[in-house]
Amino acid sequence: MPTISIFHHDLEQLLGQNANINQVETWLSLVKGELKDHNPTNGELRVELQDSNRPDLWCVEGIARQIRVSLDTKPSHYPFLTNKGRSKRRLMVLPGIEDVRPFVAACATTGYHMTELGLTQLIQTQEKLADIFGRKRQTVSIGVYRLPAISFPITYGLVKSEEARFTPLGFTEKMTPKEILAIHPKGLEYGAQLSNADHVPLLWDKDGQVLSFPPIINSREVGEVKIGDTDLLVEVTGTDLSMVLLTLNIFAVNLADRGAVIDPIDIVYPYATAMGKTIKTPLDMSISQRISLNAIEHALGTPLGSESIQQALSGYGYQVKATRHTLSVKLPAYRHDMMHVMDVAEDVAISRGYDSFTPIMPANFSVGALSPVETLSDQIRDLMIGFGFQEMFSNILASRTEIVDRMRLAGTEHGHIVEIENAMSESYSCLRSSILPFLLRVEAASPRSFYPHQLFEIGEVALPDMGVDLGSRTVGTISAIIAQPGASFSEIHSYLDLLMYYLVRDYRLEPTTHHSYLDGRVGKIICGKHEVGYIGELHPEVLEAWQINMPIATFEFQIQKNN
């Protein structure tokens, strides 16, 4: 989740009070924020925000707001969200856009003298919201413009990609959307978000001046906001109405918190949306929910009572009305994350402070136990260690080269493995189907460690099996090797025999061929009716492939009884 850069004095200004860094760090628990870094020289704080459902907190204004609400013990009031009446500005949506990027929201903001700090924070918020909340601009993208350069109404519609021309940010000459997609860095980066490159979304004003080619790039002429600008237009387009509206609300309250006056804009759709055909934005979408007091008290394990729950929620930004057994709660307009009463319960706990809840030890009795396979693994491990074998422990991703090719198994029945489709590197592109290659990796890396090397590892392997639901089975397996001059079948067989004796398993060896082993010195291990593994001396070609200069005798078998 996002890590943002904010400034101490900016935060203090937004809070309306001074606070030292320790105080700030304590307050950060209100926003699930973690202070990652603090530069005392310039007052920069790097803060990681955990809550992916609270994009309103991914900016200094939002952090300050949540703290301020808590200090004031009541929600902030934003009059532009409640004023009735038509807006003086309109944005017209044209038919056709509904299949591409159907939703837009916008507002004008006036009277805030843009500072350098305010501008960097605005840009940071724009980037974080579009990138993370808007899924790399797919569902939400944001544009900010100089208001005086725009004549209303604005139009939002689809145009042919070679018909419009404007100067995009970062360039000095006019280009068509088609050219932008072909050569502009942002066109190259985000062009894939457009399903149809022939007809593209565009925002333009009454004079035909292009504002933006969402979600790719804004116009340089009207979209380059500078320090000292006082009047802005903020617009959000996207594929999810509530996310588009929420994003605009966040920008509106952020600018309002810095002193701007917010003028809503009427968005006029040619089609019906969940919020109607004409939507005045910013729009407070949140509606009051009746929730049970009992559910909150039960979840928190404390009979807090209506009044203190009400206080806690007010002090966290909610509008609350209480009756005897229920609460009517409403989230502030910059939040849209209440799915369940448990969300409210957590806010109560955060608002009151987690430390205000006395921990209670869970008292229900339960019997602890290891799983059968783990119990068996431990039994085998104890035996092998007693036999003088060093236990190894490996990563279980490897390359096909290691698991198949070097083991001379390509094209054999043992050459099937579970492979990763989107592997990051060839070295970690397969799940192991055998542990032996991992012990050979150790042997190859450790010729200088004194001999003898008696190694084993017990753990999970994944065996492809088209007969089961998941296409593979995870199976507990043990592999052991003896690497030393004179390592022999007979020696490793003695250990296997002893192991099987103590495990009370009837087993027998059957001559077989297996490409990893020397012919005539390999056996199939059979327990009951099941073939569970192999024992033998490794083929010199396998050792050569691993660049091992020591003979190796080994066994490997699946440990579960009922496989």
Q: Which of positions 15-74 make contact with other proteins (CB under 8 A)?
A: 29-30, 32, 50-53
E-strand stretches of 55-128: 89-93, 103-110
379 binds other proteins (CB under 8 A): no
Residue 431 interacting with other proteins (CB under 8 A): yes
Q: Which of the residues 469 through 488 are near other proteins (CB under 8 A)?
A: 469-474
CB 234 within 8 A of CB 144: yes
Q: Angle at which helices 372-386 and 489-502 pack, to 10 degrees?
A: 130
Binding positions for other proteins, 384-413, rule CB under 8 A: 384-397
To the nearest whole angstrom, how small is the minimum distance from the Cβ of residue 291 to other proteins? 10
What is the total count of residues that contact other proteins (CB under 8 A)? Answer: 94
- Give whichever of 253 and 431 is closer to other proteins, judged by the CB atom: 431
Query: How far apart are the C-alpha atoms of 414 and 501, rounded to whole Å?
Result: 28
Binding of residue 361 to other proteins (CB under 8 A) = yes
298 interacts with other proteins by CB under 8 A:
yes
Rule CB under 8 A: is residue 462 a binding residue for other proteins? yes
> Could you say whether residue 498 binds other proteins (CB under 8 A)?
no
Q: CB–CB of 531/463 below 8 Å?
A: no
Q: How far is the CB of 534 from other proteins (least distance, A)?
A: 22
CA angle at residue 266 from 263 to 268, to 5 degrees?
165
Q: With respect to other proteins, which residue has the nearer C-beta, 4 or 349?
A: 349
Question: 3 vs 446, which CB is nearer to other proteins?
Answer: 446
Rounded to a whole number of angstroms, the minimum distance from the CB of residue 449 to other proteins is: 4
DSSP letter for each residue of 486-555:
T--HHHHHHHHHHHHHHTT--EEEEE---TTEEEEEEEEEEETTEEEEEEEEEPHHHHHHTT--S-EEEE
Exactly one of 229, 235, 346, 537 binds other proteins (CB under 8 A); which one? 346
Judged by CB, which is closer to other proteins: 211, or 236?
Answer: 236
Is residue 373 a contact residue for other proteins (CB under 8 A)?
yes
Instruction: Read off the amino acid at residue 325.
Output: H
Q: Which of 366, 411, 490, 510 binds other proteins (CB under 8 A)?
A: 366
> Which residue type sits at 448?
R
* Binding-site string for other proteins from residue 214 to residue 243, where x marks contact by CB under 8 A and - marks none: ----------------------------x-
Rounded CA-CA distance 421/447 in Å is 35
Q: Choose between 18 and 29: whose C-beta lies nearer to other proteins.
A: 29
One residue of 226, 272, 360, 411 binding other proteins per CB under 8 A: 360
Sole residue written with tokens 């350098």:
116
Residue type, 4: I
Q: In angstroms, what is the minimal distance from the CB of 268 to other proteins?
A: 25
* DSSP letter (8 states) at residue 219: B
Q: Do the Cβ atoms of 10 and 116 come closer than 8 Å?
A: no
Q: Which of 40, 79, 368, 485 binds other proteins (CB under 8 A)?
A: 368
Q: Which residues pair with 238 in a beta bridge?
A: 103, 140
The footprint of other proteins on residues 178-197 (CB under 8 A) is: none
Alpha-carbon distance 145 to 135, whole Å?
22
Beta bridge partners of residue 478, listed in sequence order = 458, 557
State the minimum distance, in angstroms, from the CB of residue 55 to other proteins: 12
Query: What letter represents residue 175's amino acid?
Result: M
96 to 135, contacts with other proteins by CB under 8 A?
Answer: 132, 135
Q: Are 537 and 552 in contact (CB under 8 A)?
A: yes
> Considering the rule CB under 8 A, would residue 455 count as an interface residue with other proteins?
yes
